[in-house]
Amino acid sequence: MSIPAAREKFRSFLTQKGLRVTSQRLAIFEAAFAQPEHFTAEQLVDFARAIDDSVSRATIYRTLPIMTESALLREVDIGSGEKFYRPNAGTPNAQVAQVVCVDCDKIFEISAPFMEWYGSTVSTKLGLTPISQRLQVSAHCDAFRRAGSCPRRT
Ligand SMILES: [Zn+2]
């Protein structure tokens, strides 16, 4: 899905929810879709305010669930207490697995089409229909452990 297509989807989803398409909400959308990396809600506050300083924290926290519900954003929970978000620019329902580097605080997402196959295979054997599944790998960074620094560490 291209950014213009995603923006259209966002507009129609807001309308569908009986919410107005405000410049603040659009600023949140633009800020989220401009991010190359995963971001937290608090980071999105800063990004969105850089576009429109009238964006309130409350609006961000109300808009995020709308964006995840409409599958525009993917919510990533790595068990750190804070949730991360990422635009679903590609196919919204694509199976992805996360590899989390605990040394560098970096989240990698890799496509994992086998996951869907595996989940449905083992579920079927049990007479069950899968609803959702996820694969998350926690990892150490070899470069960081070896050299004490990592080019990916921010
Ligand atoms: Zn690293």
From 117, 140, 43, 45, select the one nearest 82 (Cα to Cα). 43
Tell me, what's the pLDDT at 67? 94
Domain residue ranges of the chain, discontinuous segments joined by +: 1-91, 94-154
pLDDT digits (tens, 9 = 90+) for 93-130: 567 788 999 888 888 988 887 888 888 899 999 999 98
Measured in angstroms, how far is the CA atom of residue 118 from the centroid of ligand 1? 30
- Whether the pLDDT of residue 3 is over 80: the answer is yes
CATH topology match: 1-91 vs 94-154: no
Four-way CATH pick for 94-154: 3.30.1490.190, 3.40.50.280, 3.30.565.10, 3.30.450.20: 3.30.1490.190
Q: How far is the CA of 114 from the centre of ligand 1 (A)?
A: 26
pLDDT of residue 94: 62
Which is nearest to 9 in space by CA: 27, 24, 28, 29? 29
Does pLDDT of 86 surpass 60? yes
User: What is the topology classification, in CATH, of domain 1-91?
Assistant: Arc Repressor Mutant, subunit A (1.10.10)
pLDDT in tens, 44-64: 999 999 999 999 999 999 999
Report percent pLDDT > 70 for the chain: 95
What is this structure's pTM? 0.75
How is residue 58 written in tokens? Answer: 């409350």
Interval between CA 18 and ligand 1 midpoint (Å): 44
Helix 41-51 / helix 23-33 crossing angle, nearest 10 deg: 120
Q: 103 CA distance to ligand 1 centroid (A)?
A: 6
